[in-house]
Structure 1
Amino acid sequence: MPPRALRGTGPADAGRGRRGRAGGGSLTYGQLDAKANQLAHHLRARGIGPEVLVGVCLERTPELLVALLGILKAGGAYVPLDPTYPAERLARMASEARLSLLLTQQSLVETFANPEVSLYLLDTEAPARAAQSTQAPTRLNTLDGLAYVVFTSGSTGTPKGVMISHRSWTNAYLGWERSYGLREHCRSHLQMASFSFDVFAGDLSRALCSGGKLVLCPREWLLEPPRLLALMKEQAVDCAEFVPAVLRGLLQHLEETGQTLDFMRVLVAGSDAWYVNEYHRLQAVIGDDTRLINSYGVSEATIDSTWFESGDLGPGDTQLVPIGRPFANNRLYVLDAHQQPVPAGIAGELFIGGEGVARGYCHRPDLTAERFVPDPFATEPGARLYRTGDRARYLLGGDLEFLGRADTQVKLRGFRVELGEIESALGKHPAVQGAVVLLREDPGTPRRLVAYVVGSDLRDTAVLRDHLRERLPDYMVPAVFVRLESIPLSPNGKVDRKAFPAPDATQRTGEQQLVEPRSETEASLLALWKDVLGQTSLGVTDDFFDVGGHSLLATQIISRTNAMFQVTLPLRALFEHPTIAGMAEQVVLAQLEGVDEAALASAMEEVGDLSDADLEKLLEGTNE
C-alpha cells in the first residue's frame, strides 16, 4: 500500500469511526490498523520483509483487508490468488511467483493440492497473533520496493506476474485524487472487482488513502441489479468503478424501474470498451452533480493510465467512448512499426511511459525485455515504455481513441485474455492435434470466444469444455467449439485468422439431440434464451453454460424471466437449473406459490399438457 495509506490507517484516523463493510462485517480504521499491525509483527517473525512475496488466498471479507495491510506493513509484497480459480492454475501462479509464504484459511487449504510453500492459516494463527503488539512496526518499505504482483493471462500458457512498486501505486492514487476530487466529493466507495484483478488495488487505495468507507459488494450481487442498487443506496455509495458489463445490467434495471444514480458523485466505467450511445444512456440516469468517467489502463502500467469525461459527446451507436488523456506523471505515445510518433488521426500502437510503468514480469526477464522497451522520449536514465499491443490514435482535440488489439490478446467482460493460453491448454488434451481460439462478434450474437479444434478422435467437444474448466477461469472457457479438418493457413504458411468460418448455429455437441419446447412456458423461455444468447438452434435440455452463457448473461435471463412471468426467481435458480426445461419448472412452481384460483387453473391447464413422464418429473421437483 502506498506509504500515505499506511499513515491514513493510523490511530489518528480511528476516531472518525469510518467503517469498511462487507456482508454484515465491518471494521473501523482503528480496528483495521490494530489487526494489521499484529499480523505484520507475526509475519516479520516468519521472515517476511522487503521483496518477499506472500500469496493470499482468501474470500473477499474484511479479513482480506487485514491480510493485505499486514503484509505491506511487514514490508512484504502480496500476490492475490482467487480461491475460485481452478487448482491447477493456482498452483502454476504460486510456482511462477516462487512464494515464500501462502496466507490462507483452513477451509481453503484443499484449494491447493500439495502446496510447495509454507502456509500461514489466518484463522488457526489467530490466538498467537492476538498476543502481538497493536503498534505499527518499524517501516521497511521504500518507494521503489515491491508492493504487489498481479497475474495476467500469458500467451505461452503460463500466467505472468506483473510487479508493481509502491512508487507506481502511490502515483496512481495521487492521479485519482487530483482528477476525481476524492477527498472533496467521495466518502463511500463500492468495491466490486475480483481480488485477483488489479482494479481491486485501485478500489482499496482510493478509499483508504482518502479516508473514505470501503464497501465490499458480495460477488453474486453484481449480477443482481436490484440487490446491487439497494446496497449502493443503503451504504450511500458515492464513488464506484464498474466494468461495462456490470454497468449495462444496472443501467437496464434503472431504465426499466425509473430509478436513478443521482446520489453518486463519481461513476467510473473502465477495464473494457463501451459505446457512445451507452454513455448517453448513463447520463440520463445520473444526477447533475455526478461525474461520468471512462478510464483506460493495463496491469503493466498500474491500473489506470488515462481518463475521459465530457458532457457533449455526439451520437454514435457503434463509436467507442474515447479513453481521454493521461493521469498525472503518465505519458502515452502512439507509435508506428519503427516506434516513431504518428500524427493525430493516424492509428498506431499505444505505448505507456512514466511513473506507472511496472518493474516487469516476475522471474521473466526475457518477456520483460520484449514488452518493456527503452523510452527514447524520456530525459531520466533507464526509463522504459510498456508496449500495450493496443491500437489507438490521437483525436484532433487531444483525446486518445482506442481502436482494438494489435495482437492475440483480447478483452472480454473486463478481463484481458491471451488467446494463446487457451490454445495451449487445449493442446494438452490428447485428442487435440491443433487449436485456434478467436474472439468473434458475428451478426446477431454477443462477443464470445470460439475455439476451433482439429483431431480425428474428437467426437464430443463437451470433453474439451470440461478439460478447460479444470485448468482455466470460467471467463477463459470458449462459448463455442468448432471441429475442423485442418487449420486454415495463409500462402506463407501462417494461421489465417480471417479464414475461419462462423460457428454453425445448428451444430450440436456429441450425441446431444435438440428437444423442442413442450409447453407455452418452455416456448417463451426458448425465445428469450435465443434472443439473449444470439443462438438460433437451442433445445429445452441444452445447458445454458454449454451454449455460450455466462454469469453476466444469466443476469439478463433472470431479470427478463421474472418480468415475463411476474415471478421473483433468484439468480441462483439458473445456476441450479441451467436448462429451459428446468427453469420452466421453477417458473411454474413460483407461480403456484400463492396464486389466485384463476391463475391456478391456468397453470394446471399447462401442467395437463405435459406427458406422464414430464409430469412425474415435475412432481418429483416439488417434493425436493
Structure 2
Amino acid sequence: MNTEELLISTEELPLSYAQQRLWFLDQLEPNSALYNIPIGLHLEGTLNQAALEQSLQEIIARHEALRTNFVTVNGQATQIIHEEITWTISVVDLTDLSTTEQQIAAQKLNKQQATQPFDLEKEPLIRAILVRFSETEQWLLLCMHHIVSDGWSTGVLIQELTTLYNAYLQGQPSPLTPLTIQYADFAIWQREWLQGEVRQRQLNYWQNQLADIPELLSLPTDRPRPAVQTFVGAHQEFTLSAQLTSQLTQLSQKQGVTLFMTLLAAFDTLLYRYTGQSDIVVGSPIANRNQSELEGLIGFFVNTLVMRTDLSGNPTFSELLSRVREMAMDAYAHQDLPFEMLVEALQPERDLSYTPLFQVLFALQNTPVSVVELNGLTLSQVPPKSQTAKFDLTLAMENRVDGLVGVWEYSTDLFDADTIKRMTGHLVTLLEAIVAHPQQPISQLPLLTDIEQQQLLVDWNQTQIDYPTPQCLHKLFEKQVEINPNESLNFEFLSETQSSNH
C-alpha cells in the first residue's frame, strides 16, 4: 500500500466493504446494540478529570473514524467526516449513596452503556460515562460502534489514552506522532485494489475451499432453534492453569504450529465429538492490518475467515494439527477478500434462524496488549454487561501472563448456563489429554470430567432395589395396580417387546 496513494479527499466518501455490511444490517434492524463495543475501566486513586476528558477529545481529533457518521445519499451509504465534534464525558456522581446502592446503580449504567443503540447518522459513535464512587474510586465506561472500531482499535485507544493522560497531567503537549493516513483512505484504497484479477484470484480459492459446505453445524441444544435468530446471549469466563497453557505452547512449538492452530484443532475436535460431523466449519476473525501504516489507526479493519477443517478418518490429534496448519496457512494467504463479498459470491441458502456459512466462531486475542498505567491510578477491567450473541456459540481466548483465559458468548435461545459450564469442563479435559497424548485418535480422547465419570460409572449405575419381602411377579403387579389404578397397560408395547426378545 502506497501512503501517497491514500491521501485522497473527496466530498462523498465510500464505506469499506465491512462498514457497508454493518450499515446495511443497521438499515434492516435499526436500534440494535449487537455491534456495540463496550470497554470498562475501574480507576482507583486520584483522577484528574480534565486531563482524562482532554485525552479522549484528542484521540477523537486524531482519528477521523471517531468523527464519522453514515448517511444515505441517492440510495448509497456515504461517510461524512466532521472537522470537529462537540464531545464530553457524561459524569454520574454516586458519592452520596451507600455501597450497595452504588453497586446497583453502577451495574445499571454499565448495562445501559453496553446495550444502548447508536444512531449512525446523527450522533458520535463513541461515548463515555465516568461513574464516581468516591474521591479515589471511579469507573470509566466507554462504548464504540463496531462500524468505526474493532478489537485491535480498543488496544490503540487505551495505549493513546495512557500516553496522553500522563503527558497532560504534567502540563505537556501530546507526544503522539501525527497520523499519516486515515480510515477513509483505507476504504477507498480497498475498493480500488480489490478488483479484476486480484479479486478473482481470492474468490476462486474460497469458492473451491467452501464448495458443498454444510449448511448448519448441528450442536445438541437445550431448546429447539427459534424460527428467527434473536441474538440474545450471555457470557461465561474460564481460565486455564499456567501449567496447561505452557504445555499447549510447548506442544505447538514441537509440532511446528501456532498456539491458535492448536486451540482451533482442539475446538474442532470438541465440535466433532458433540455433533458427529467430520466437516467442521468455524469462523475466525483476523486483524487484517498487513501494512504498518494501519497498525496505529482506530477503525473497522477486522475480517472474518471461514475455517473449514476435515476431521474424517479419525486422525490422531497430531495428524489433525497438520491438516489445520495447511488449511489455516491457505486461508491467511487469501485473507484480503472481505467476508461480505464472500457471502455475496457464494449466495448460501439463507435461513433467518442461523447465520450463513458458519454458526460457531473461534478467536485467539493476539492484538498488542496495552499496559494501562495512568499516573497515580491503579486500573482493572470492569466486565461489560453485554447481553448479545452474534452466533450460536463463540469461544474467545486470550493468552495472559498467568495463563489462557476463555470467554464463551452463547445464544440463550439455544443453551443454558449449565450446559456451557459442562462444555468448559469437556474442553479442559480434552486439552489435558491432547498435551499428554497427541498421538491418540481424536475419537478416543476423553471429554468427561472426573465428576461426570463418577456419575456415569458409579452413581447412576446403582440400580439395585431391595423389595420388602420375596413376592411373586403377579403380586407385585397387583400392588402396582392398587397404587396407580388409572394407569392402563400398553399390551401392544408388551407384545412387541416379547416378540423382539425371541
TM-score scaled by structure 1?
0.21
Which fold has the larger relative contact order, with Cα–Cα distance below 8 Å and residues 6 or more apart in sequence? 2
TM-score scaled by structure 2?
0.25
